[in-house]
């Protein structure tokens, strides 16, 4: 029998490892940034072209590498971080596997220039597909610069799986933000196709969060601090009123390493219990410091998952710490039965001196004076009303005016809108054929029975087809705002808005100015009010990020769906008979009448036969 098991060549093994470590350009940036931080870099610059498909360049001012180290770092399992297996449980660095550079070099053209501080000349190495093309001395600043060109050039199948530049850039920004948030003491910058996306100076944690997510973030943050023998907690959570519809601003860091933990995320959500609206997610930036021996980082190739020694204790401490912070800063309601608020001294009295009370007496008061002369009655000290010339109050009122039937023609009476009736008067008289049930369904008659329509889904379908037509065929009408509307967004959201700006303008939005963290709107669609714009755009950005659309029709489709959902009449809204009839007529003028944009049924029918069976 012939032997069938054999060792894989190094270049094949490296490509297999690359499949675990490098999924997309963002993975390369994560690994290179972590190496720069481990090297002691204090000023790290990232340069990207075509979302990393053409070029990724990371430059740092760290320690640099000698000639031997520069060559060895591209070998598999070559690392300076660990020597024995026990070192895996006392890690304080980012990288330790020794697979990142070897994996990247197996699937791209890599050029590295590096120089340690104690040498005059550096080293330049060029590698293509795990093969060293050249190695020579060069003049370069202290530190390391790595250029990764033509990612996946020798694996076309992997390159075909990459998304559009917009989507890949979004993943790059996510990875960049995670590393930058974990190290506020380091200066970071990010450039894409020559334009600056981020310029983050050295700062404290709060300033770093504000620099990344915009100036308005500062007022949303509530500090969280807790020190125990098991864990140290530091960071911020967002106030409940600023909770978002997406999980975008949720960050856990353990020993300055970004992780994903559904279990700890549940602890944060439990701390906000009763404070959040339905389907709203709190923002948090939490930094946990634990003993490296109590965690295992080496359970996932990307090192974003960690196994804890005692997860239950961490869960309890984290939830209690957040609850305490929300109560301490009067964000959550607190009951204190021992405190009497009526005994609190007002702030304005805190610096006032003590004054002697004074009694004032009216020396001219005489209770025995007559009522006409003093204005006071002897019995009740009541001020007398002047009743002189009372006939003048009725001057001009003639008896024939009171009898005239036209005297109250111009009088209008206000009355509250009655919404609790099942049938309006006009419908009783035969003027309408619909009525609203439970402020959610529109009921109308058919020849064969009844038709029950979900008003929100029906209106969503109407608006969806109208928006699709506006974006692809003709522009919609816009209403001008008296005062421009200023909205704050993160850099990532601003880039997304720039991409869909043209489509939004076709629906009726008018944008006058874009900055790094804000946008100015001077016109909005006629179907929405000014107060709904911020909520609508936030929901739209959340939908686009979750769907991760590419270019072309799919993005237009998601844009139309999200806007239609946000602009449609909600369940619980009272509709007059005219609006009810308008929705019914518009629905059956659509191309698709039975399904909403999200493929949910819009209406059901109840035939006379089905109703007859109910009475049998």
The residue that leads in pLDDT, 558 or 176, is 176
Confidence of residue 184 (pLDDT cuts 50, 70, 90): very high
Q: Please, what sign has the CA dihedral across residues 221, 275, 317, 255?
A: negative
Neighbours of 312 (CB within 10 A): 9
Task: Output the six-digit token pair for 402.
Answer: 């009171």
Residues 6+ apart with CB under 8 A from 178: 30, 251, 258
Judge if 10-200 and 435-604 fold alike in CATH terms.
no
> Global pTM?
0.68
N- to C-terminal Cα distance for the chain? 79
pLDDT top residue among 21 and 522: 522
- Could you please state the CATH topology (level 3) that the domain comprising 10-200 is classified under: Heat Shock Protein 90 (3.30.565)
| pLDDT score, position 488 | 83
Q: What is the mean pLDDT of residues 78-105?
A: 70
Helix (H) or strand (E) holding 225: strand 221-227
Strands 187-192 vs 43-49: parallel, antiparallel or unpaired: parallel
User: CA 165 to CA 157: how far, in whole Å?
Assistant: 17
Q: Is the predicted pLDDT of residue 404 greater than 70, yes or no?
A: no
CATH entry, 205-328, from 3.90.1640.30, 3.90.550.10, 3.30.230.10, 3.10.580.10: 3.30.230.10
Note the pLDDT of residue 320: 92
* Strand ranges, E, within 455-564: 478-488, 510-514, 518-525
Q: Structural domain boundaries of the chain?
A: 10-200, 205-328, 435-604
Give the Å distances, CA to CA, from 16 to 13, 74, 104, 151, 161. Answer: 5, 15, 11, 15, 16
Rounded to an integer, the average pLDDT of 16-45 is: 86
- Three-class HEC string of 452-479: EEEHHHHHHHHHHHHHHHHHHCCCCCEE
Model pLDDT for residues 29-43, shown as the tens digit of each residue: 998 998 899 888 999
Distance CA 495, CA 166 (A): 9
Fold of 435-604: Ribosomal Protein S8; Chain: A, domain 1 (3.30.1370)
CA quadruple 594, 599, 605, 609: dihedral positive or negative? positive
Tokens, residue 379: 């019995």
Summarize pLDDT for 251-291 with one digit per residue, the tens: 999 888 888 888 888 999 899 888 888 778 888 999 999 88
pLDDT top residue among 359 and 379: 359
């Amino acid at each position: 029998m012939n032997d069938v098991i054999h060792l894989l060549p190094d270049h094949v093994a490296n490509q297999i490892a690359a499949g675990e470590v490098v999924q997309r350009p963002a993975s390369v940036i994560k690994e290179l940034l972590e190496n720069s931080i481990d090297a002691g870099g204090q000023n790290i610059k990232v340069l990207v072209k075509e979302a990393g498909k053409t070029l990724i360049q990371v430059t740092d001012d760290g320690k640099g590498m000698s000639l031997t180290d520069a060559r060895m770092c591209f070998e598999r399992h070559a690392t300076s971080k660990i020597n024995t297996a026990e070192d895996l449980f006392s890690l304080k660095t980012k990288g330790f596997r020794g697979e990142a550079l070897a994996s990247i070099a197996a699937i791209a053209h890599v050029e590295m220039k590096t120089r340690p501080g104690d040498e005059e000349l550096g080293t330049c190495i060029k590698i293509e597909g795990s093969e060293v093309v050249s190695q020579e001395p060069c003049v370069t600043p202290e530190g390391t610069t790595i250029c990764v060109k033509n990612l996946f050039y020798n694996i076309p199948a992997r390159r075909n799986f990459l998304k559009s530049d917009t989507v890949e850039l979004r993943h790059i920004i996510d990875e960049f933000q995670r590393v930058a948030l974990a190290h506020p003491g380091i200066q970071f910058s990010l450039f894409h196709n020559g334009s600056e996306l981020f310029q983050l100076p050295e700062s404290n944690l709060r300033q770093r969060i504000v620099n990344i997510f915009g100036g308005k973030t500062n007022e949303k943050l509530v500090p969280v601090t807790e020190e125990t023998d098991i864990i140290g907690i530091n960071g911020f959570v967002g106030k409940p009123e600023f909770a978002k519809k997406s999980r975008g601003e949720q960050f856990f860091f353990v020993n300055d390493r970004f992780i994903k933990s559904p279990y700890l995320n549940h602890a944060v959500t439990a701390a906000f219990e009763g404070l959040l609206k339905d389907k709203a997610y709190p923002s948090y930036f939490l930094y946990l410091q634990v003993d490296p021996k109590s965690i295992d980082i080496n359970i996932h190739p990307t090192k974003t998952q960690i196994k804890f020694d005692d997860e239950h204790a961490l869960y309890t401490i984290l939830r209690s710490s957040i609850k305490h912070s929300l109560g301490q800063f009067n964000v959550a309601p607190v009951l204190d039965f021992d405190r009497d608020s009526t005994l609190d001294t007002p702030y304005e009295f805190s610096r006032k001196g003590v004054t002697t009370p004074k009694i004032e007496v009216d020396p001219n008061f005489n209770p025995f004076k007559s009522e006409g002369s003093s204005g006071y009655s002897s019995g009740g000290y009541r001020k007398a009303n002047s009743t002189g010339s009372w006939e003048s109050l009725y001057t001009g009122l003639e008896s024939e005016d009171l009898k005239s039937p036209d005297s109250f023609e111009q009088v209008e009476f206000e009355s509250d809108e009655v919404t609790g009736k099942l049938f309006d008067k006009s419908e009783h008289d035969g003027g309408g054929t619909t009525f609203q049930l439970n402020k959610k369904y529109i009921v109308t008659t058919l020849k064969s029975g009844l038709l029950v329509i979900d008003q929100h889904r029906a209106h969503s379908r109407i608006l969806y087809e109208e928006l699709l037509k506006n974006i692809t065929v003709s522009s919609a009408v816009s209403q001008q705002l008296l005062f421009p509307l200023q909205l704050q967004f993160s850099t990532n959201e601003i880039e997304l808005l720039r991409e869909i700006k043209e489509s939004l303008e076709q629906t009726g939005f008018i944008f006058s100015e874009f900055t790094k963290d804000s946008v100015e709107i001077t016109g909005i669609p006629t179907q929405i009010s000014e107060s709904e714009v911020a909520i609508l755009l936030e929901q739209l950005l959340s939908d686009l990020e979750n769907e991760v659309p590419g270019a072309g029709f799919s993005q237009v489709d998601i844009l139309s769906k999200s806007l239609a959902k946000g602009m449609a009449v909600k369940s619980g809204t009272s509709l007059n008979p005219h609006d009810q009839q308008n929705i019914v007529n518009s629905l059956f003028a659509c191309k698709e009448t039975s399904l909403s944009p999200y493929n949910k049924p819009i209406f059901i029918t109840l035939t006379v036969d089905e109703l007859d069976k109910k009475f049998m």
